[in-house]
Structure 1
Amino acid sequence: MISVSKLLCGLDAESDGLRYDAADGSKEPQITEKKQRRPVVVWNTTKQCNLYCEHCYAGADCQGAKNELSTAEGKALIDDLADFGAPVLLFSGGEPLVREDLAELIAYADDAGIRPVLSTNGTLLTCERARELKRAGLQYAGVSVDGLPERNDRIRGEEGAFDAAVSGIEACLDVGLKTGLRYTITEHNVADLAGVVDLLVDVGIDRFCFYHLDYGGRGADISDVDLSPEATRQAVADLCDLTREYHDAGEEIETLLVGNYADAGYLVEYADRELGTGRARLIYRYLERNGGDPTGERVADVDPVGNVHLTQFWQGYSPGNVRDRSFGAIWSDESNPLLAGLRDREDHLSGRCADCAYQSICRGGSRLRALAAHGDPFAPDPKCYLTEREREGAAAASRLGGESLAD
């Protein structure tokens, strides 16, 4: 995740230590004081979902998968993750709220010292359920909304899904549970982005996570409606402008971009143009600490039947199953050539990624999109929208008298 509001507006957040090793400079209570050394783990607790979203990376359906992890196996997984030092466990799906033991599992994670958070479509959230989850120790709920009512309901395959999700958001806010928006941007909904932010700020949300489409699950089936590089650039520019406008008006909304680390280079360029070289240098340093695309390193996934994945979007490949080996053993096994390659990707990236001036803060972007587009996980990400001049470092250097932003 790249925090637009942190980088452009200086907004403190509870993830400053986790993401930027900047806990000392933040006024907010921190998830961790130091940058993560172990991955944030997404657990797809079930494949069952009450909706059928066109971009679902997990390929969720109306039925769960056969032989999903039981409550006891889920607790064993949590123990394993706690022993390994995972800082955060994101309960996802499918729709995790269809699991009757969700509150029990959240409480178990909280007791184990792992920060429990939730990814949900929000339509099953009531005040009673939200209160139960908060009492269990849930720290945050991310609710997926993908446009204003008509577009959202079409994308999510259910009339009334928008209204139900907003009701779920209101239920969380009513019981004091920190809540944010998750929004996957495609051609189908990019026009609604500002309108959704405006509406949900009025509802009371102050955290917005905007996801680039990754080509996994049903997301791979709609890659043809992904934004072009030019349209992606414009959408990111619009989000930067929108964030600054809200902050200038006194609204401290937190906005984040997820899934395309070309955004890192773009934010440096944007800051250099709009805010000056000093801010651009600071942003560059923050993004170097962040470390670029986290696939296979700072994010991991466990699917409903225990298969470990290199990111939640890359469900088509697994280096092992937690029923056979511990998560820690699987994640630490660099005899796996793909895991080892991802952790040393600078020596493997090809094409325009190999010598990009922003490689240290991007690290090639999405390896799944590269695989989907080129059949090679170390090929260039087709969603990179930086210009040749930007990738060569000429644009920034010319404004800095020939110096690199890293200097």
Structure 2
Amino acid sequence: MISVSKLLCDLDAESDGLRYDAAEESERPQITDERQRRPVVVWNTTKRCNLHCEHCYAAADREGAPNELSTAEGKALIDDLAAFGVPVLLFSGGEPLVREDLTELVAYAADARVRPVLSTNGTLLTRENARELREAGLRYAGVSVDGLPERNDRIRGEDGAFDAAVRGIEACLDVGLKTGLRYTITEHNVDDLAGVVDLLVDVGVDRFCFYHLDYGGRGADIADVDLAPEATREAVTDLCDLTREYHDAGEEIETLLVGNYADTGYLVEYADREMGTDRARLIRRYLERNGGDPTGERVADVDPVGNVHLTQFWQRYSPGNVRDRSFGAIWSDESNPLLVGLRNREERLSGRCAGCAYRDVCRGGSRLRALAVHEDPFAPDPKCYLTDSERRGAKAMARIRGEPSEPPAD
């Protein structure tokens, strides 16, 4: 995740230590005082879901997967993650609220000192279960909303899904559970982005996570409606402008970009153009600490039957199952060539990524999109929207380094 509000507006957040090794700069209590050394883990607790979203990376449906992890196995997984030092466990799905033991599992994670958070479509949240989850130790609920009512309901395959999600958000806020928005941007809903932010700010939401489409699960089936590079650039620009406008108006909303680390280079370029070279230089230092695309390093996934994945989106490959080996043993297995390759990807990146001025803060972007389009996990991310001159470092990077810039070729 890339915190636009932190980088452009100096907004403190509880993840500053985790993400930027900047805990001492924040006045807020921190998830951890230092940049994470172990991955945040997404646990797809079930494949069952009451909706049918067009971009669902887990390809969830009305039925659960056969032989999903039991309550006892889930607790064993949590013990395993705690022993390995995992800082955060994201309960996801399918729809995790269809599991009757969700509150019990959240409480177990909290007791094990693994920070429990939730990813949900929000339609099954009520004041009662939101209060139970908060009292069990849940620290945050991310609710997926993908447009204003008509577009959201079409994307999510259910009439009334938007209104039900907003009721779920209000239920969480009513019981004091920190709640944010999750929004996957495609051609189908990009025009609703500002309207959704405006509406939910009025509801009381102050955290917004904007996801680029990754080509996993049903997301791969709609790659043709992914935003083109120039449209992606425009949407990210709009989000940067919107964030600054809200902060200038005194609204401390937290905005984050997820899933396309070309955003790192663009944020430096945006800051240099709109805010000056000193701000661009500071942003680049934060991004160097962040470390770029986290696939195979700072994020991991466990699916409903215990298979470990390199991110929650990369469901077609697994280096092992937690029923056979501990998560720590799987994640630390240096004999796995793909894991080793991803952790040393700079020397393997090819094409325009190989010589990019932002390679160290982007690290090639989505390896899953590269694999889906080029059949090579070290090929360029097809969603990179930086210009040739930006990738060469001819403009902002030259000024940041105090070097003369070469004339742009584009």
The amino acid that maps onto 1:194 is A
Q: Post-superposition shift, 1:395?
A: 1.3
Identity %: 86
SS of the residue corresponding to residue 288 of structure 2 reads: helix
> Which residue matches 1:188?
188
> Which residue matches 2:219?
219
Q: Write the distance in 2 (CA, Å) between the matches of 1:163 and 1:58.
A: 24
Q: Post-superposition shift, 1:214?
A: 0.0
For normalisation by structure 1, the TM-score amounts to 0.99
The amino acid that maps onto 2:128 is E
1:315 aligns with 2:315: yes
> Which residue matches 1:10?
10
The amino acid that maps onto 1:45 is T
Q: Post-superposition shift, 1:398?
A: 4.9
> Which residue matches 1:276?
276
1:325 aligns with 2:325: yes
Structure 1 spans left out of the alignment, 5+ residues: none
> Which residue matches 1:120?
120
Q: Post-superposition shift, 1:399?
A: 4.0
The amino acid that maps onto 2:61 is D
Distance 1:64 1:171, change over 3 A: same
Q: Given that residues 38 and 86 in structure 1 are in contact (C-alpha distance below 8 angstroms), is that contact kept between their aligned partners in structure 2?
A: yes
For normalisation by structure 2, the TM-score amounts to 0.98
1:168 aligns with 2:162: no
1:402 aligns with 2:403: yes
1:359-402 C-alpha deviation (Å, 9 max, x unpaired): 00000000000000000000000000000000000011454541
1:110-133 C-alpha deviation (Å, 9 max, x unpaired): 000000000000000000010000
Q: Write the distance in 1 (CA, Å) between the matches of 2:186 and 2:397.
A: 33
Q: Write the distance in 2 (CA, Å) between the matches of 1:359 and 1:335.
A: 26
Question: How many residue pairs get matched?
Answer: 404
Q: Given that residues 357 and 397 in structure 2 are in contact (C-alpha distance below 8 angstroms), is that contact kept between their aligned partners in structure 1?
A: no
Q: Given that residues 55 and 219 in structure 2 are in contact (C-alpha distance below 8 angstroms), is that contact kept between their aligned partners in structure 1?
A: yes
Structure 2 spans left out of the alignment, 5+ residues: 406-410
SS of the residue corresponding to residue 32 of structure 2 reads: coil
1:197-234 C-alpha deviation (Å, 9 max, x unpaired): 00000000000000000000000000000000000000
Q: Post-superposition shift, 1:142?
A: 0.1
Q: How does 1:1-400 map onto structure 2 within 5 Å?
A: 1-400=1-400
Q: Write the distance in 2 (CA, Å) between the matches of 1:6 and 1:93.
A: 29
The amino acid that maps onto 2:111 is D
Q: Given that residues 264 and 361 in structure 1 are in contact (C-alpha distance below 8 angstroms), is that contact kept between their aligned partners in structure 2?
A: yes
1:280-313 C-alpha deviation (Å, 9 max, x unpaired): 1110000000000000000000000000000000
SS of the residue corresponding to residue 118 of structure 2 reads: strand
Q: Write the distance in 2 (CA, Å) between the matches of 1:286 and 1:84.
A: 26
Q: Given that residues 9 and 247 in structure 2 are in contact (C-alpha distance below 8 angstroms), is that contact kept between their aligned partners in structure 1?
A: yes
CA RMSD of aligned residues (A): 0.8
The amino acid that maps onto 1:128 is E
1:313-364 C-alpha deviation (Å, 9 max, x unpaired): 0000000000000000000001100000000000110000011000000000
Q: Given that residues 262 and 386 in structure 1 are in contact (C-alpha distance below 8 angstroms), is that contact kept between their aligned partners in structure 2?
A: yes
SS of the residue corresponding to residue 237 of structure 1 reads: helix
The amino acid that maps onto 1:209 is C
SS of the residue corresponding to residue 107 of structure 1 reads: helix
Q: Write the distance in 2 (CA, Å) between the matches of 1:186 and 1:330.
A: 34
Q: Post-superposition shift, 1:6?
A: 0.1
Q: Write the distance in 2 (CA, Å) between the matches of 1:197 and 1:328.
A: 39
Q: Write the distance in 2 (CA, Å) between the matches of 1:374 and 1:53.
A: 26
Moved more, 131-140 or 392-401: 392-401
Where do 4+ consecutive residues of structure 1 move more than 3 Å?
397-401
1:232-276 C-alpha deviation (Å, 9 max, x unpaired): 000000000000000000000000000000000000000011111
Q: Given that residues 397 and 403 in structure 1 are in contact (C-alpha distance below 8 angstroms), is that contact kept between their aligned partners in structure 2?
A: no
Q: Given that residues 182 and 211 in structure 1 are in contact (C-alpha distance below 8 angstroms), is that contact kept between their aligned partners in structure 2?
A: yes
SS of the residue corresponding to residue 55 of structure 1 reads: coil
Q: Write the distance in 1 (CA, Å) between the matches of 2:193 and 2:174.
A: 25
